[in-house]
Amino acid sequence: MSDAAARTPPALPIRFAMIGTGGVSRLHLPAFAGSPDLSRLVAVCDVREDAARAYAAQLPDPPRVVTDYHQLLQQHQDQSPIDAAVIGLPHHLHLPVARDFVEAGIPVLVEKPLTCTLDETRQLRDLAARHGVAVVAGQMRRFTQDAAWIQRWVAADPGNFGDLHSFDIQSWQNIRGWLGRTAASDPWLLDGKRAGGGVVISLAVHQLDLLRFLTGANYTEVTARGRFDPPFVNGAESSAVVLLGMDNGAAGVLHASYTTPRTPYSEAMHLFGAHGTIIQRAERIGDYHGPFRYATATGRETVEWGQMYKNLDLVPAADVADLTENPFTNQLRHFATALSRGERPQNHVDENFNTMACIQAINDSLRHGRPEPVAIA
Number of domains forming the structure of the chain: 2
The backbone torsions φ and ψ at residue 367, rounded to the nearest 5 degrees and listed phi first, read -75, -40
The 8-class DSSP code of residue 346 comes to: T
pLDDT in tens, 70-108: 999 998 888 889 999 999 999 999 999 999 999 999 999
Residue 231 lies in a domain: yes
- How far is the CA of 79 from the CAs of 72, 74, 75, 82, in angstroms? 10, 9, 6, 10
Residue 33 lies in a domain: yes
pLDDT in tens, 296-330: 998 888 888 988 888 899 988 777 878 899 999 99
Residue 66: CATH number of its domain: 3.40.50.720
pLDDT in tens, 330-339: 999 999 999 9
Query: How confident is residue 348, by pLDDT bands cut at 50, 70 and 90?
Result: very high
Domain boundary among 138, 171, 196: 138
pLDDT in tens, 130-142: 999 999 999 999 9
In a 13 Å sphere around the CA of 363, the CA atoms on its Cβ side amount to 25
How many C-beta atoms lie closer than 10 Å to residue 181's C-beta? 10
DSSP per residue, 16-60 = EEEE--SHHHHTTHHHHHH-TTTEEEEEEE-SSHHHHHHHHTTSS
Residue 148, domain extent:
142-319+355-373
Residue 60 lies in a domain: yes
* Domain identity same for 88 and 187: no
Residue 233: CATH number of its domain: 3.30.360.10
**Cα radius of gyration rounded to whole Å, the chain:** 21
* Domain identity same for 210 and 111: no
How many C-beta atoms lie closer than 10 Å to residue 180's C-beta? 10
* Domain identity same for 127 and 146: no
Max CA distance (Å), the chain: 72
H or E, element range at 257: strand 251-257
In 3-state terms, what secondary structure has residue 194?
helix
Check: pTM over 0.75? Answer yes or no. yes
DSSP per residue, 284-328 = STT-SS--EEEEE-TTS---SGGGGGS--EEPPGGGGTTS-S-HH
* Domain identity same for 293 and 219: yes
* Domain identity same for 236 and 148: yes
Contact criterion met (CB below 8 Å) for 254 and 213 = no
Type of residue found at 211: L
Average pLDDT over the chain, rounded to an integer: 93
pLDDT in tens, 221-274: 999 999 999 999 999 999 999 999 999 999 999 999 999 999 999 999 999 999
